[in-house]
Structure 1
Amino acid sequence: MSSTPSLSTRAVSSWEANASYWDATITKEGNKYWRRLQEPCLARLLAPSLFKPNVKALDLATGNGLCARWLVSHLADSVLATDASENMLDLARRHCQLGTLEEGIRFRQVDVTSEGDMARLVEEEAMPRGGFDVVLMNMAIMDVADLEPLAKALGGGLLAKGGVFVATLLHPVFFTSNAERVITVGYNPATGNEEIVRGKLIKEYMSVPPAMGIAVPGQPEKQLYFHRPMHELFATFFKTDLVMDAMEELAFTEEDVEENRIQSTTNFPQLPVILAFRMRLP
């Protein structure tokens, strides 16, 4: 495929096109993935950092601002929300409720693949505040063509000493672009009944090129996904002296099964949908 700048431009362009549809589908309050998996996990990973005085938080790839508003509601004293998509930022601004703490959320257009954007973010936003105590990137790493500028900024002043970077993403093992869902009918000798058995067939993992896909069914344009095996994903951040101190694999449970959507990811309780991790700047 083409160069990284071109890939980044294409990735942002698709989010500009899909912004309104994505927002209407996911909604201001978030969808089942947010309620059942992402929000409870973020509450666990960020709890030690948020319940402190004068917490400064940065929400990268904010989308419609869901996480920025969540951060404010969980006692972050100041929140800066960024996104590369201006259409997404417009939606996020409009979702902030007047007369509440959400009014204090600031917004800024930032492309995390741009060294210039990240350098200016450090110089103009982080340095005057001594760095951010919390940097959050929820469900966006797989949409980003190049993680090096982000990693460099995190270790180069974006994070305060002792600050944390928390990210969630589609699980690299089970959501490679060519993962095939396998559904068969098996016999359970314990019950004497036939049962649906769900699994996934992964043909490639170590090297998978960027591929087109969808975030929500019916979206106007397909978008680029960037697969990284876990060793490659984490190595990018380890090079900047960040230390990982927590990781979770998030899966739905039997309570989430959707019988009318047999191939839905909610029907695979033994296979994690999302990978979440926390890194700290010592």
Structure 2
Amino acid sequence: MSTPIPALHEESIASWKTNAAYWDQGIGQDGNKYWNRLQLPALERMIPFPSQTEPRVLELATGNGLVARWLAGKRASVLATDVSTEMLEIAASREMPEHQGKISYRQLDVTSSEALDALAQGNSTHELIEMGNKMREKLISQTGGFDVVIMNMAIMDVSTIEPLAAALPKLLKKDGIFVATVLHPVFFTCGARRDIQIVDGGPDGYPVIVRAKTIEKYLDVPPYYGVALYGQPAQQAYYHRPMHELFSTFFKTGLVMDAMEEPAFTSEDATPDRIESTSNYTQLPSILAFRMRRVA
């Protein structure tokens, strides 16, 4: 018998509490290969940064604050949120002097319609997170909607996205954008198997390594447990959504998609001593990046 989604959701929250410090060590101040080679380039192409204004950005599932720090470096004012207060404390501790006053923090469960509605209405004083001796409340006291809502590599960690989709038209300004990256539903969260063939007699006389993936299920894949970083203390739950299900959830609330990318590693990212490494699969995208826009 499979674990009910509400129970999985609570286990997911507990796993991020347990994994917070290990995750932070793995991602670090400047991010890992996934961030630098796949996520960051896609986000830079999808998020415009006007030279004369400071966009207001809501980040969901900030983790150790990597994206928030990058956004602050682009002169954005950022409200960084996460379901894990442990993650928020780590994110605040990683701030550099140049980030002071640009990033605020708040605990937020993106599966909670009530919490999202409270944020959209500006009713959030009771949920401010105190970091050290400073209360981060600059963005939380403002109203009028965000220019950008961003969720980097976290949708597959969330048990339901319907509350978020419903809240986005209220959280965004008109023509505001929602930008997200996620493990690719076709080549990752469907449980695809990595296949490696070693074929003798290549053009230069040496064996040729042929990499492929086998996909047995895509439309109906139940939640399952796995790890994001090898060695993490607790497994986490993954929630697979085929692309039509993922996108239609946001379309139903009136958002329009105007950009999508499927970033893949290149030969420059190869890891020769680990033939099974994802970075060696240069013809199969590792993540999916997309942008939705509020047009009304």
Q: TM tier, shorter chain? A: over 0.9
Q: What does 1:188-267 correspond to in 2, within 5 Å? A: 190-267=203-280
Q: Residue 51 of structure 1: CA displacement?
A: 4.0
* Alpha-carbon separation, structure 1, partners of 2:42 and 2:12: 27
Aligned to 2:135: none
Aligned-CA RMSD value: 1.7
User: Residue by residue, what CA displacement relative to the aligned partner does 1:33-89 show, whole Å, maximum 9, x if unpaired?
Assistant: 11111111111110x25545131111110000000111111121x110000011100
Residue of structure 2 in register with 1:111 after alignment:
109
Q: Name the counterpart of 2:158.
A: 144
Aligned to 1:122: 120
Aligned AA (2:78): V
What is aligned with 1:63? 63
Higher percent of residues as helix: 1
Matches of 1:3 and 1:215, distance apart in 2:
22
Structure 2 distance, partners of 1:52, 1:273, is 35
**1:267 to partner: Cα distance:** 0.7
How far 1:145 sits from its partner (Å)? 0.2
Q: Contact between 2:190 and 2:218, CA under 8 Å: does it hold in 1?
A: no
The reply on whether 1:153 has 2:148 as its aligned counterpart is: no
Q: Does structure 2 retain, via aligned residues, the 8 Å contact 1:23–1:64?
A: yes
Q: CA deviation at 1:11?
A: 1.0
Partner residue in 2 for 1:10 = 11
SS at match of 1:117: helix
Is the CA contact (8 Å cut-off) linking 2:260 and 2:290 kept in structure 1?
yes
Q: Under a length normalisation based on structure 1, what TM-score does the superposition of the two structures give?
A: 0.94
Structure 1 residues 252, 213: closer, same or farther in 2, change over 3 A?
same
Distance across 1 between alignment mates of 2:16 and 2:208: 40
Moved more, 184-193 or 113-122: 184-193
Report if aligned partners of 2:49, 2:74 keep a CA contact under 8 Å in 1.
no
2:10 and 2:226 map into 1 onto residues whose CA distance is 16
- Please name the residue that 1:29 is paired with: 30
Deviation of 1:6 (Å) = 2.2
3-state SS, counterpart of residue 172 of structure 1: coil
C-alpha distance in structure 2 between counterparts of 1:280 and 1:224, whole Å: 29
Q: Is contact 1:72–1:102 with CA below 8 Å preserved after alignment?
A: no
Give the corresponding residue for 1:90: 89
Give the residue type in structure 1 aligned to 2:121: E
TM-score normalised by structure 2 residue count: 0.90
Give the conservation status (yes or no) of the 8 Å contact 1:114–1:149. Answer: yes
Task: For residues 188-239 of structure 1, give each alpha carbon's deviation from its aligned partner in whole angstroms, at most 9, with x where no partner exists.
Answer: 7655542000111111110000000000000000000000000000010000
Q: What corresponds to 1:278 in structure 2?
A: 291
CA–CA separation in structure 2 for the residues paired with 1:50 and 1:43: 12
Alpha carbons of structure 1 residues 216 and 189: separation in structure 2 relative to 1, 3 Å = closer
Q: In structure 1, what is the Cα distance between the partners aligned to 2:278 and 2:41?
A: 18
- The alpha-carbon distance between structure 1 residues 247 and 231, as it changes in their structure 2 partners (threshold 3 A), is same
Does the aligned pair in 2 maintain the 1:49–1:133 contact within 8 Å? no
SS across alignment from 2:207: strand
**CA displacement at 1:97 relative to structure 2:** 1.6
Partner of 2:176, secondary structure, is strand
SS for the counterpart of 1:250 is coil
CA change 1:50–1:117 in 2 (3 A) is: farther
Query: Equivalents in 2 of 1:51, 1:170: separation in Å?
Result: 31
Unaligned runs of 5+ in 1: none
